[in-house]
Every structure is written in C-alpha cells, then in structure tokens.
Amino acid sequence: MLKRMSAEFIGTLWLVLGGCGSAVIAAAFPNVGIGLLGVSCAFGLTVLTMAYAIGHVSGCHLNPAVTIGLFTGGRFAAKDIGPYVVAQVLGGIAGAGILYVIASGAPEFSLAGGFACNGYGEHSPGHYSMMAALITEFVMSFAFLFIICGSTHGNAPKGFAPIAIGLGLTLIHLISIPVTNTSVNPARSLGPAIFVGGWALEQVWLFWVAPLAGAACGGALYRWLGAEETTAAKGDS
C-alpha cells in the first residue's frame, strides 16, 4: 500500500503541476501562449504519461472521483479508498505548491489571476452560473468514468486504455474550461484553492460534490453495462 500511495501522490502531483502549470505559466504567455487547446492537451498528457508510468503500481487514479467511481463500478476495494484519497489530496497540494514557487518567480505574478482555480459565477471563465457548473462537472465526471471503465474492460483492446483516457480528459477540458476551468477531480481543485484562499475555498465544495457524484454514477452504470458485455461475449464463445 505504501508503494501504491506513493505512486498516487507522485501522479497527482504531476497532474496538477503539468495541467495547472500549463494554464498558469504558458496559456497566455506573450506571443507564444498555448491557449485553451494547449491547456486541454496538457491535462490529457499528464494522465496518459502517468498511466503508463504507474498504472501497473496503483492503477493511476490520480483523482478521488476516479477512486470512488471505480469502487461503485466494482473495480476497487472499499478499504483502500481512504489511503488513495489522502495520497491524491496531498499530491495535489504538493503540485500546487511547486507551481506556486515557480510561478511566483515572475515579476508580474499574482494570485488574483486565479492560479487555475475552479469557480462559478463571477469566478467562472465565462461567468457561468452555479447550476451550469454543477451540471457540467457532474456530466463530465460521469463521462470520464465511463471512458475509464470501458477502456479498461476485459474485452477492450489491450494496452490502449491510457490513450483513450488521456484523450477523453483532453476532450472534457475542451468542452468545460470556459464553464468551470474544468475540475472533474477534487484533488486538482483543492490544491490551487488552498493557495488562493477566499472565494476559491468557498466554492471548492462544488468541485468535490459534483465530480464524486458524477463519477459514482458513471462507475455504477458501467458496472451493469460491462457485466452485460461480458455475459454476451461468453455466450458467443
């Protein structure tokens, strides 16, 4: 378990540093900013690279919502939820801390810019309402778990799951960055929010509740769907 927790810590640190770092440092960098597309790709690449690096150690959840979704999907033991979530949250905070140290080295850096925090209302990039943010995070988290469960299903092509999951997360960001800055991951949301404080911590509840609920529903539904596929496959054979 210590090795699995260490892998989750490092992986989540990398996700926050790579994904949020691209948003804070590179998204609007003068003349060569990577923009929304670049940030979306960065988040997808963090998951894809870590899935190959630590997938065989911990399963590469990097996200409390994924851990809960895999539990409701019958893929993860209840007794291991706590250690995984602790490791992910600590990794997210550590990643945000490293990012803060790097980003604050620029003379014009200010936490008032948001530090890639998730938000709704006046703190949404597009000023979307709380209800719009709640629905977006629920649906995107549901879809993410659906992709994860499907691509790692016993009947799915072997070795391609990290690619599908990474591209899935990229697509999710392309859709939802304007709405919430995209969370689908409570650990990713909490890390930067701790450094910004104030409104970011006041709104972070939504980025726990909606992803956890959406992922739980996505995992549970695929548990039913995946079981039907397994039965059908056995019957055909």
177-195 pLDDT per residue, tens: 999 999 999 999 999 999 9
pLDDT band for position 234 (cuts 50, 70, 90): very low
Q: Residue 30 — very low, low, confident or very high, per pLDDT cuts 50/70/90? A: low
* Residue carrying structure tokens 């409104």: 199
Instruction: Give the model confidence (pLDDT) of 37-50 as tens digits.
Output: 999 999 999 999 99
Question: What pLDDT is attached to residue 158?
Answer: 86
How many folded domains does the chain comprise?
Answer: 1
Residue 115 DSSP SS3: coil
> Quick one: which of 69, 61, 66 has its CA closest to 10?
61
Question: How far is the C-alpha of 232 from the C-alpha of 46, rounded, in Å?
Answer: 35
Distance CA(131)–CA(26), nearest Å, equals: 30
pLDDT tens per residue across span 147-181: 999 999 888 888 899 999 999 999 999 999 999 99
Structure tokens at 44: 């997808």
Q: Supply 89's token pair.
A: 């949250």
The predicted pLDDT at position 232 comes to 39
First to last CA, the chain: 37
Supply the mean pLDDT for the chain.
Answer: 92
DSSP structure class, residue 75: S
Q: Is residue 35 pLDDT above 60, yes or no? A: yes
CATH number for 39: 1.20.1080.10
What are the pLDDT digits (tens) for 75-112? 999 999 999 999 999 999 999 999 999 999 999 899 98
Q: What is the span of the domain harbouring residue 204?
A: 2-236
The pLDDT value given to residue 237 = 32
Instruction: Return the pLDDT at 198.
Output: 96
